[in-house]
């Protein structure tokens, strides 16, 4: 569905849209194809994988430092995937455990399944030998709003 990534004019990723939506943006000339599927075209356009806005859009989170942290937000950001095993995740893990001063921030929390959460316990990923599959980031408003 949401197959096409939209980049801001400065190449900062904003959000994903459906192919139809992306094509509409191309027709309206608010965006241009930034990266295309090789050897595929849709009408006059190469099949877009990534489109880039023609003019810069000011996003709220650039100024506010991002949406307020929430457990639900972390799960949505991480698409309910465990940061350690990739399985379905319903709990939040603190990368630096809260017992050791780890805080509730976007960069210190990841979605984790119950098993991995328990296995990791009061250890860092390095201590537990459980590398993160991705690095947690501050989500954009759009990222949190779309699901």
Q: Which residues bind Zn ion (CB under 5 A)?
A: 82, 84-85, 87, 113, 116
28 versus 135: smaller Cβ distance to Zn ion: 135
Residue that has been written with the tokens 């995740």 in this structure: 89
12 versus 87: smaller Cβ distance to Zn ion: 87
110 versus 116: smaller Cβ distance to Zn ion: 116
Taking the alpha carbons at both ends of the chain, their separation in whole angstroms is: 12
CB of 18 to Zn ion, least distance (A): 30
DSSP letter string over 4-17? EEEEPTTS-EEEEE
CB of 77 to Zn ion, least distance (A): 16
CB of 137 to Zn ion, least distance (A): 19
CB of 142 to Zn ion, least distance (A): 27
C-beta contacts of 17-20 below 8 A and 24+ residues apart: 19/48
Nearest-angstrom CA–CA distance, 142 and 7: 12
117 versus 140: smaller Cβ distance to Zn ion: 117
In the DSSP assignment, the letter for residue 35 is E
Contact 111, 80 (CB under 8 A): yes
């Amino acid at each position: 569905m949401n197959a096409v990534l939209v980049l801001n004019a400065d190449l900062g990723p904003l959000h994903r849209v459906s192919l139809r939506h992306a094509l509409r943006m191309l027709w309206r000339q608010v965006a241009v194809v930034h990266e295309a599927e090789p050897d595929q075209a849709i009408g006059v356009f190469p099949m877009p994988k990534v489109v880039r806005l023609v003019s810069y859009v000011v996003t709220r989170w650039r100024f506010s430092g991002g949406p307020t942290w929430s457990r639900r937000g972390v799960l949505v950001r991480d698409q309910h995937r465990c940061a350690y095993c990739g399985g379905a995740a319903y709990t939040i893990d603190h990368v630096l455990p809260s017992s050791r001063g780890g805080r509730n921030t976007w960069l210190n929390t990841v979605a984790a399944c119950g098993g991995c959460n328990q296995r990791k316990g009061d250890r860092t990923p390095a201590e537990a030998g459980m590398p993160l599959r991705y690095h947690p980031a501050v989500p954009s408003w759009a990222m949190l709003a779309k699901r």
